[in-house]
Chain A
Amino acid sequence: MRLLKGVRLASGEVTDITIEAGKIARIGKSKESGLDCSGLIALPGFVDLHTHLRQPGFEASETVLSGSRSGVAGGYTALFAMANSDPVADNASVVEQVMTLGQEAGLLEVRPIGAVTKGLGGEELSALGLMASSAAKVRVFSDDGHCVHDPLVMLRALTYVKGLGGVVAQHAQEPRLTEGSQMNAGALSTELGLKGWPAVAEESIIARDALLAEQVGARLHICHLTTAGAVDVVRWAKARGIQITAEVTPHHLMLTEDLVRTYDPVFKVNPPLRTREDTLALREALIDGTIDIIGTDHAPHSSEKKDCEWDQAAFGMVGLEHAASVAQEVLIESGASDWERFTEVLSSKPAQIGSLGDQGSLKEGQEANITLVDPAASREIQAETLSLSRNNPFAGLTLKGQVVHTLFRGKFSFRDGKVKNA
């Protein structure tokens, strides 16, 4: 039995939470003594619909274990692992392997994402059904890293995945318009002599896929939205009744392209950092619900892939350990929203999109996946986190909000700043 005393819920109510046999037994004041959690906010454990755990294949950058450790430090109780490993997760064996690695790490739930196409090649559908019926019970399919650019392949994928009760998560990037692209296309890319990645390459794919999803009556999820124009397209699609959901990363909410002037590859990411106007539009959309969730797109890279010329460097940023602080900055510190919305974007909505039934809410009878945050704590983000990689563009920034404890299935996975295994 565990008792969290004096927590504040997202509703504002201060109460106690009693945990028994891995489930939330009771939410209500208790006369017993327990862990003093005064000053902390209790939220349903965070769920990341977009993480790169790099295993199998790129263990120098991250492993399922190290990614899990970084995840629990960030308050996560579930991570959806993208399929661009080596070998690609396009069949039942690889997804089951990733799932098993997650169980062995035992810190949070690792849900493998299945690739939409074989080898991420964009041409032939991968073993979608076999992955869905495997032990890994895959429901989210994505070629992230690559765009499913062929409209016919996308149409087939949407149709097929609909039948599996799943969702296709598209990385929207028209490849012909972004060959060799390095940063956002605009006046700055012109001046810096770096090949531009135009907004239209993202927006046109979203619009196309929304119409395809409408035609099929399928769900569609858009990964890492980055432009004001993309927000407009999603808004239009939702207004039409299309079952589209959208995600934004912590870095696109807070960082802009002018950081690229430093030519420091820690700021190199795909899709790229955009303009201030874009970040403002993304924030507004997250607040008003046009964007449904925050997905970290945690993309660790070992140092030799970032300690080099810009063009040579890999795309990606880590993000598991500061996502909650960014959410707090955008939703709470701004005064524009509240902890209920916070819960939606980091826990309940991603769990819903990923068909993760037993996560995303704090309710009696539910599995006890709980994150306890100290909203008043302020900290300077360090490059070094529990991830194996240090490509952290937030290093040096000071943000409010710190995850103090994380509980997974009733047990502490992270307690007082340390990863635990019991």
Chain B
Amino acid sequence: MKHLTSIRELDRASAVSILDNADELAGVNSREVKKLPALRGKTVVNLFYENSTRTRISFEIAAKRLSADVINFSLATSSVSKGESLKDTAQTLEALGADAIVIRHPMSGAAHTLATKGWISGSVVNAGDGSHEHPTQALLDALTIRQLKNSGSDLKGLSVLIVGDIQHSRVARSNCLLLTLLGAKVTLAGPETLLPQTFREMGCEISHSFEEALETKPDVVMMLRVQRERMQGSFFPSEREYAAKWSLAGERLKMLGKETAILHPGPINRGFEISSAAADDPRSAVLAQVKNGLSVRMAVLYKLMAGEG
């Protein structure tokens, strides 16, 4: 496997293998010597066209734990339209010997384009491309759910509810594909304007009522970030109305079962899509998600890069 730009590039067996490897690699992070020599001498470039300190740092630490050299290339979003073309940047990195490029980009398909245009010879890891996908996020979510629910090798029999601005969410798309691939039942919930019916064709159920969705007692509730800028596009009338109907807070928080896990990809808008009480609730698995993010990214980098002789 050379690239990871979309969950569609994985089948059930390879997805489970990544989760299993991530579980093993987690052990490294609690050892005295937090390093493995697997990627020694290799160079990983973080090519981030969008600001994201947390994801970038996660990939950076993952690469360093595997003894790779890391270069951070952070460009402001304006570079995309005014500056160097993706092609020129890619070819520059190729000339500098990048063995893998981790790319986060505001346009859907950018990772696929980088991987398939023949500009570079290394591997491409999609760290989020526009509204399209964020595969390592889905993998760390799946791993977190698997650990919390002790569901065996995959997620068969589990039900997951994903709530928020689904339309613009790459996390929702990747999770929809991966969690169903692993046998879970996924329901997406959000206002009609942010959740088109076409999502059904990706294998998920749709709900336009948070309460109704909670009544089915999902094993996991995943809250997505909502960008306050969505107000401008006439997607919903006001922040207050959104929070009133779609935030995880108050009565809806009380509807959660004792064993229901609460997940959030971060960063959290406390008081908007999720109340402080929910964020600090003992059922919240956000810190486990962060930990698993590191080991999942180690497993992915290892899988893509260690094979080259």
| Genuine A/B complex | yes
Enumerate chain A residues within 8 angstroms of B199, measured Cβ to Cβ: 190
Enumerate chain A residues within 8 angstroms of B78, measured Cβ to Cβ: none
- When the two chains form their complex, are residues A263 and B130 in contact, meaning their CB atoms are under 8 A apart? no
- When the two chains form their complex, are residues A193 and B198 in contact, meaning their CB atoms are under 8 A apart? no
0 or 1 for each of B103-136: is its CB under 8 Å from A? (1 = yes): 0010111101100110000000000011111000
Q: A263-B113, A309-B86, A312-B81 are in contact. Are A190 and B105 (CB under 8 A)?
A: no
In chain A, positions 174-232 with a C-beta closer than 8 Å to chain B are 182, 186-187, 189-194
Enumerate chain B residues within 8 angstroms of A194, measured Cβ to Cβ: 108-109, 130-132
Does A150 lie at the interface of the complex (its beta carbon under 8 Å from any beta carbon of B)? no
Does A32 lie at the interface of the complex (its beta carbon under 8 Å from any beta carbon of B)? no
A310 to B116, CA, bound (A): 13
Does A304 lie at the interface of the complex (its beta carbon under 8 Å from any beta carbon of B)? yes
The residue in chain A whose Cβ has the minimal distance to the Cβ of B167 is: A190
The residue in chain A whose Cβ has the minimal distance to the Cβ of B109 is: A263
The residue in chain B whose Cβ has the minimal distance to the Cβ of A310 is: B109
A258 CB to nearest chain B CB (Å): 13
Enumerate chain A residues within 8 angstroms of B107, measured Cβ to Cβ: 309-312
- When the two chains form their complex, are residues B112 and A304 in contact, meaning their CB atoms are under 8 A apart? no
**Count, chain B residues at interface, CB 8 A:** 27
The residue in chain B whose Cβ has the minimal distance to the Cβ of A179 is: B233
Enumerate chain A residues within 8 angstroms of B196, measured Cβ to Cβ: 190
- When the two chains form their complex, are residues B85 and A308 in contact, meaning their CB atoms are under 8 A apart? yes
Q: A193-B132, A308-B87, A312-B80 are in contact. Are A186 and B198 (CB under 8 A)?
A: yes
A186 to B108, CA, bound (A): 16
- When the two chains form their complex, are residues A190 and B198 in contact, meaning their CB atoms are under 8 A apart? yes
In chain A, positions 308-359 with a C-beta closer than 8 Å to chain B are 308-312
Enumerate chain B residues within 8 angstroms of A186, measured Cβ to Cβ: 198
Residues of B bordering A, CB below 8 Å: 80-81, 85-87, 105, 107-110, 112-113, 116-117, 129-133, 167, 170, 173, 196, 198-199, 201-202
The residue in chain A whose Cβ has the minimal distance to the Cβ of B199 is: A190
Q: Which of A192, A262, A307 contacts B132 (CB 8 A)?
A: A192
Q: Which of A193, A309, A310 contacts B173 (CB 8 A)?
A: A193
B148 CB to nearest chain A CB (Å): 28
The residue in chain B whose Cβ has the minimal distance to the Cβ of A189 is: B198
A185 CB to nearest chain B CB (Å): 8
A194 to B173, CA, bound (A): 12
Enumerate chain B residues within 8 angstroms of A307, measured Cβ to Cβ: 85, 87, 117
- When the two chains form their complex, are residues A191 and B109 in contact, meaning their CB atoms are under 8 A apart? no
A396 CB to nearest chain B CB (Å): 15
- When the two chains form their complex, are residues B113 and A308 in contact, meaning their CB atoms are under 8 A apart? yes
Among B107, B116, B117, find the residue whose CB has the most chain A CB atoms closer than 10 A.
B107
Enumerate chain A residues within 8 angstroms of B109, measured Cβ to Cβ: 192-194, 263, 309-311
A190 to B173, CA, bound (A): 9
Q: A263-B112, A263-B113, A312-B81 are in contact. Are A193 and B87 (CB under 8 A)?
A: no
- When the two chains form their complex, are residues A310 and B86 in contact, meaning their CB atoms are under 8 A apart? no
Task: List 6 A-B pairs, Cβ < 8 Å.
Answer: A187-B198, A190-B201, A193-B108, A263-B116, A309-B105, A312-B80
The residue in chain A whose Cβ has the minimal distance to the Cβ of B115 is: A263
Enumerate chain A residues within 8 angstroms of B85, measured Cβ to Cβ: 304, 307-308
Enumerate chain B residues within 8 angstroms of A264, measured Cβ to Cβ: 113, 116
Q: Which of A189, A193, A304, A308 contacts B130 (CB 8 A)?
A: A193
Enumerate chain B residues within 8 angstroms of A304, measured Cβ to Cβ: 85, 87
A308 to B89, CA, bound (A): 11
Enumerate chain B residues within 8 angstroms of A311, measured Cβ to Cβ: 107-109, 130
A198 CB to nearest chain B CB (Å): 11
- When the two chains form their complex, are residues B110 and A309 in contact, meaning their CB atoms are under 8 A apart? yes
A345 to B3, CA, bound (A): 46
A378 to B226, CA, bound (A): 54
A189 CB to nearest chain B CB (Å): 8
The residue in chain A whose Cβ has the minimal distance to the Cβ of B129 is: A193
Among B86, B109, B112, B173, find the residue whose CB has the most chain A CB atoms closer than 10 A.
B109
A307 to B117, CA, bound (A): 8
A191 to B200, CA, bound (A): 10
Q: A263-B116, A308-B113 are in contact. List 6 more A-B contacts (CB 8 A).
A: A190-B198, A192-B109, A193-B133, A264-B113, A304-B85, A310-B109
Enumerate chain A residues within 8 angstroms of B133, measured Cβ to Cβ: 193
Q: A193-B173, A311-B107, A312-B81 are in contact. Are A262 and B86 (CB under 8 A)?
A: no
Q: A194-B109, A263-B113, A307-B87 are in contact. Are A187 and B201 (CB under 8 A)?
A: yes
Enumerate chain B residues within 8 angstroms of A190, measured Cβ to Cβ: 167, 196, 198-199, 201-202
